Amino acid sequence: MKNYYYILLLLSTFYACKKNPDQKTDEDELKPVVMVDELLSNQDKWWTYQYNRISLSSDFEPIDTSFNVIPKGKFLWELTSGNFVPIEMESDSLKTYKLYAIPTQSKNEISQIIKNLAKSEFQFYLMEGKPFPEFKAKNMEGEVIDQNNLIGKTTVLKTWFINCKACIKEMPELNKLVDRYENENIQFISLALDEKKDLEKFLEKTEFNYAVLPEQKDLIQEALKLNAYPTHIVVNKSGKIVKVLSKGSDLIAYVKEFMKNPDKELEVNSIPPPPPPLP
């Protein structure tokens, strides 16, 4: 009985949407921005497109295979099956992604990548609207920082470690973001895995303008349940997570838009976690 109730709850939440669930977009007006068959016939070409053009953490209009507008949570959940890829559609307004079935001959090459990406994005999506977890840490100067320091300001956090090449590569652009908002009500904090002494040596040679909290494995991996580096988290003035992103470029674009209206009311993405897969 509990399982039956849980399934009903899951399905009803997935299909709950502000728009009419039966609403269909105009197939004649919505066209993919790429040649889909050609794209999916080449893994390297697809991955270049996926990495540079698709941002599942951004705000977009989700379309299913039948051109129905569906909730974003449902869209991401479908991607976790590994049977679909998101393709950007031509649109004059909000960015629009449509689910396209992966051809049988491409499934072994592309499906697993999409599945892993979608699982992370689905997790990020479920974090939005939730309070940032309680924590207590010391920064590089020995000052105690906890969740109360996140109240009253917009906070941007980054998870990283010294030997993470992707984490280091994006630091110059993140430094420009800090410079851009240094006189506004926003703070930048990084959660590092490394010990203080190692971080001191690293920061002598590499400029990084975020405040650094050393040895944050427990907060990152246990409290936040994050295992991908870097991960970026935006927290609003009330201490609630508003966005979780994997790429610095997506973070920069999001912060620029968010800071135009940092007091915007936030909706909680209350989709329950998916049930375990069938044996």
pLDDT at 165 over 80: yes
Last residue of a domain, one of 62, 97, 127: 127
pLDDT at 278 over 60: no
Residues 117 and 141 in one domain: no
Neighbour-count burial for 36-59, b at 16+ CB within 10 Å, e otherwise: beebbeeeeebeebbeeebbbbee
Is 273 inside any structural domain?
Answer: no
Give residue 262's pLDDT: 78
pLDDT in tens, 68-113: 999 999 999 999 999 999 999 998 778 999 999 998 877 778 999 9
CA distances from 145 to 30, 96, 192, 208 (A): 49, 40, 14, 19
Residues 168 and 110 in one domain: no
Is 272 inside any structural domain?
Answer: no
Is the pLDDT higher at 272 or at 126?
A: 126
Residues 9 and 101 in one domain: yes
Q: Which positions ≥6 away from 51 have C-beta within 8 Å?
A: none
pLDDT at 245 over 80: yes
Question: Do residues 187 and 211 make contact, with C-beta atoms less than 8 angstroms apart?
Answer: yes
Q: What's the mean pLDDT in 161-168?
A: 96
6 is in which domain, residue-wise? 2-127
What size, in residues, is the chain?
279
Is 275 inside any structural domain?
Answer: no
In whole angstroms, what is the distance from residue 250 CA to residue 22 CA?
31
Is 240 inside any structural domain?
Answer: yes
Residues 81 and 156 in one domain: no
- Can you give the pTM of this predicted structure? 0.82
- Kindly state the greatest CA–CA separation across the chain: 61
Amino acid present at 235? V
Is 37 inside any structural domain?
Answer: yes
pLDDT in tens, 192-201: 999 999 999 9
Is 278 inside any structural domain?
Answer: no
Give residue 105's pLDDT: 79
pLDDT in tens, 185-231: 999 999 999 999 999 999 999 999 999 999 999 999 999 999 999 99
Residues 119 and 154 in one domain: no
Residues 150 and 250 in one domain: yes
Task: Say which residue the tokens 């109240």 belong to.
Answer: 151
Residues 140 and 244 in one domain: yes
Last residue of a domain, one of 127, 147, 165: 127
Residues 140 and 73 in one domain: no
Task: Say which residue the tokens 């924590």 belong to.
Answer: 135
Q: What's the mean pLDDT in 45-74?
A: 92
Give residue 106's pLDDT: 78
Q: What is the mean pLDDT of the chain?
A: 86
Is 274 inside any structural domain?
Answer: no
Number of independent structural domains in the chain: 2
pLDDT at 255 over 80: yes
pLDDT at 4 over 60: no
Residues 121 and 141 in one domain: no
Amino acid present at 94? L
Residues 147 and 120 in one domain: no
Q: What's the mean pLDDT in 61-68?
A: 94
- Categorize the per-residue pLDDT at 25 as very low, low, confident or very high, splitting at 50, 70 and 90: low
Residues 144 and 221 in one domain: yes
234, exposed or middle or buried, with CB in 10 Å at 0-12, 13-18, 19+? buried
Is 267 inside any structural domain?
Answer: no
Last residue of a domain, one of 127, 155, 187: 127
Q: What's the mean pLDDT in 49-77?
A: 93
* CATH number of the domain where residue 229 is located: 3.40.30.10
Q: Do the bridges between strand 96-101 and strand 136-138 make them parallel or antiparallel, or are there none, so unpaired?
A: unpaired
In whole angstroms, what is the distance from residue 81 CA to residue 67 CA?
19
Residues 84 and 43 in one domain: yes
Return the axis-axis angle of helices 248-258 and 171-180, rounded to nearest 10°. Answer: 10
